Amino acid sequence: MLRVLAVDDEVPALEELVYLLREDPRIERVIGACDAAAALRNLSRMLVSGDRLDAVFLDIRMPGLDGLDFTRLLSGFASPPVVVFVTAHDNCAVTAYELGALDYLLKPVRPERLAEAVRRVDEAVHRAAGQDKRAVDRPPEDEMVPVELGGRTRLVPRREVTYVEAQGDYVRLHTAEGSYLVRMPLAQLARRWEAAGFIRIHRSTLVALAHITELRFDGGRAAVQVGQELLPVARRHTRQVRDLLVRRFRNADPDGRNGEPGPRRGDPGGGPGGRRGRPDGGPGRRGGGRDGRGDEWEPGGGRGGGHADD
């Protein structure tokens, strides 16, 4: 059964649309939103909780972000929902279909016409589900993560996330430009992003394998270099991290030479098999290389607490 989102800034029109959609036996759940910003917040909560959204029924002319711009944002998601426009304006149909809309309904909406739109949505969702099963072995597409920033919603591409830290009920996504809080358990995010190359190095840290530039050993402790940050690796994750890095290096250079004789196993600086401390000889530490963190937004104005190393 379908799960849909209804969006309209006119309350009577929204109530009528929600009522008609809930009357359809093919629809399991209907969520109403009074504008595109509220719809994005609902969508963000559904993504975080792992809920499925099959379709969006939305108006075009709305204050702030209109329905067409909202649809352009949806196209950035890995698996965007189907879009059906429900509007009093007939002069946007061409643009709507160019953006990939499945249907275009004019107000006042006739129940039989809405039922036909739901039938098309149902067919499209089942067709897409069949394609997803056939594409299970393909590399995962990039995902856009909606984050709240001072009343605005920003979409952060997953490929830009270098590592993730657990902070209470939230996770902090770190990118080259800054960091963002998202309400989601780290364990859930680790399962969701595992196929995209994110690995657990610590009970409170998730790292994008592609952004690790170095694995260091110092006094029996391991750490990975990610950008300007040196992140500790818990003992129980060390072997897995080392093996994944070696495998990644071999896959990138099947001949194992990279154009030159490689360093011997155990040589200083010789990749995952070598041992190396910090250039100044001191122990590694976390979190010293990021400027401007005081300007980062967090819900409720608070900051997450620290975590033990292991």
In a domain, 303, yes or no: no
Query: Lowest-pLDDT range, 15-19, 42-46, 305-309?
Result: 305-309
Whether 58 and 83 map to the same domain: the answer is yes
Whether 166 and 287 map to the same domain: the answer is yes
Whether 165 and 276 map to the same domain: the answer is yes
Whether 148 and 218 map to the same domain: the answer is yes
CA–CA distance, 60 with 68 (Å, rounded to integer): 6
Whole domain around residue 64: which residue ranges?
2-134
Whether 192 and 217 map to the same domain: the answer is yes
- Selected residue with higher pLDDT from 250 and 201: 201
Give yes or no for residue 66 having a pLDDT over 80: yes
CA–CA distance, 51 with 33 (Å, rounded to integer): 17
In a domain, 275, yes or no: yes
CA–CA distance, 36 with 60 (Å, rounded to integer): 10
Give Cα separations from 29 to 134, 195, 228, 246 (angstroms).
Answer: 27, 29, 45, 47
Give Cα separations from 206 to 68, 185, 186, 279 (angstroms).
Answer: 35, 12, 8, 25
Whether 157 and 205 map to the same domain: the answer is yes
User: Across all residues in the chain, what is the average pLDDT?
Assistant: 79
In a domain, 304, yes or no: no
Last residue of a domain, one of 73, 99, 134: 134
In a domain, 309, yes or no: no
Model confidence pLDDT, tens digit, residues 126-140: 887 765 444 444 445
CA–CA distance, 115 with 118 (Å, rounded to integer): 5
Any idea what the CATH number is for the domain that residue 6 is in? 3.40.50.2300
Q: For the residues 29-33, what does the mean pLDDT come to?
A: 95
In a domain, 179, yes or no: yes
Last residue of a domain, one of 78, 105, 134: 134
Model confidence pLDDT, tens digit, residues 186-208: 888 888 888 889 999 999 999 99
In a domain, 102, yes or no: yes
In this structure, are residues 226 and 218 in contact, taking their beta carbons and an 8 Å threshold? no
Last residue of a domain, one of 87, 107, 134: 134
Any idea what the CATH number is for the domain that residue 277 is in? 2.40.50.1020
Full-model pTM: 0.51
In this structure, are residues 297 and 150 in contact, taking their beta carbons and an 8 Å threshold? yes
CA–CA distance, 277 with 284 (Å, rounded to integer): 8
Whether 178 and 260 map to the same domain: the answer is yes
The band of 109, judged by pLDDT with boundaries at 50, 70 and 90, is: very high
Whether 160 and 128 map to the same domain: the answer is no
Whether 171 and 124 map to the same domain: the answer is no
Whether 102 and 201 map to the same domain: the answer is no
Whether 128 and 149 map to the same domain: the answer is no
CA–CA distance, 127 with 130 (Å, rounded to integer): 5
Domains of the chain: total: 2
Whether 37 and 175 map to the same domain: the answer is no
In a domain, 247, yes or no: yes
